[in-house]
Amino acid sequence: MTEFPPVPGQLDLLQELGTPTEASNPAIDLRQPAPQSEPNDFPDRQQSQPAVGPLTDARNERGEAPEQLLIVDTETTGLDAETDQCLEVGAVLFSVSSRQVLAQVSFLLPVDSNPAEAINRIPAPVTRMPQPWQQGLAYFQELMSSADVLVAHNASFDRQWFGRGVLPSASRPWLCTLDDVRWPAERQLRARPSVIDLALAYGVPVWAAHRALTDCLYLAEVFRRCDDLELLIARGLEPRCLMRAQVSYDDRHLAREAGFRWNDPVKGAWVRRLSQREAEALAFPVVAVENAMPMAS
């Protein structure tokens, strides 16, 4: 969930002052082959699940709702998974029913350089210091195999690094705590809260930022304080597709307040991924973006 300063091509807040137009098409060394599959050390759990799909796909083989979540975060050398690298992985295995952390792991991956050092404060030479990252990676794969759902804040960023370099492919469904979870109104959070926003809203002390395990622990502590966690997860895993808000220029604030984003990823439109239930609850009409594949975290 690395947050970087704006770069060319990202959302320009000044564009929000422009008049919305109709959307068209959506903006649609260490590099070793990734392992082909996750270790099968947990035969009592479903071993192959699609990365996207309806809520029923997130249930285990006994037909039960997700019980174990693996909260995941990555720190990277940049924004582009094609050219940059993941240099840190953090993960917390969390039990939904007991609201307890079951296991956790964090490790650095060696990189030659880190252009994002100013953001994550991880010098490249530190990543190359002797430490058992291979064993950490193997343990991380076991945690992935034992989880029903993978959780990340801004999951679309974190999930793109899996299946590249040394990171294994992720076959479990994903739940995004930024885009998929609708946090209770009484917490008075903005439509797209940061991890720090969530922690403070739930009374979790904040002591650091931009390190993978720290951000995972913040989310775990937030989950511990959620009386309605099961409902948040169930609704967060509903099938979603990209929707365009049909609002006038004068009413554009309605879309912004509802968490829609201007010009990203569809040029000239306010868009957000929504479930059918969420779309029907809005105070303004929406339409599915043409040629956009239905998605669920």
User: What pLDDT, in 10s, does the model give residues 226-279?
Assistant: 999 999 999 999 999 999 999 999 999 999 999 999 998 899 999 999 999 999
Q: Which residues 6+ apart lie within 8 Å of 267 measured at CB? A: 23, 24, 27
Q: Report pLDDT for 208.
A: 82
Give residue 154's pLDDT: 95
Contact 229, 99 (CB under 8 A): yes
Comparing CA positions, the residue from 52, 53, 135, 139 lying closest to residue 92 is 139
Domain architecture of the chain: domains with CATH: 18-27+240-288 (no CATH), 55-236 (3.30.420.10)
Q: Of 260, 244, 233, 88, nearest to 166 (Cα)?
A: 88
Which two structure tokens, joined as six digits, stand for 224? Answer: 């511990």
Rounded to an integer, what distance in angstroms lies between the CA atom of residue 126 and that of residue 111?
Answer: 9
d(CA 106, CA 125) in angstroms, rounded, equals: 17
Which of 43, 1, 272 is closest to 152 using CA atoms? 1
Q: How far apart are CA 241 and CA 113, in angstroms?
A: 37
Q: How far is CA 166 from the centre of its chain?
A: 20
Residue 1 · residue 153 · CB < 8 Å:
yes
What DSSP string describes the chain? -------TTS--GGGGGSPP----S------PPPPSS-----TTS-----SS--GGGGS-TTSPPP-EEEEEEEEESSS-TTT--EEEEEEEEEETTTTEEEEEEEEE---S--TTHHHH---HHHHTSS--HHHHHHHHHHHHHH-SEEEETTHHHHGGGTTSTTSPP--S-EEETTTT----GGG---SS--HHHHHHHTT------S-HHHHHHHHHHHHHT-TTHHHHHHHHTS-BEEEEE---STTHHHHHHTT-EETSSSTTSEEEEE-HHHHHTSSS-EEEPTTPPPB--
Low-confidence ranges of the chain (pLDDT < 50): 3-58, 60-63, 292-297
What pLDDT, on the 0 to 100 scale, is given for residue 65?
Answer: 86
**What span, in angstroms and rounded, lies between the C-alpha atoms of 102 and 213?**
14
Residues 6+ apart with CB under 8 A from 227: none
Strand partners, 262: 270
User: Considering Cα of 262, then 266, then 270, then 273, what sign does the dihedral take?
Assistant: negative
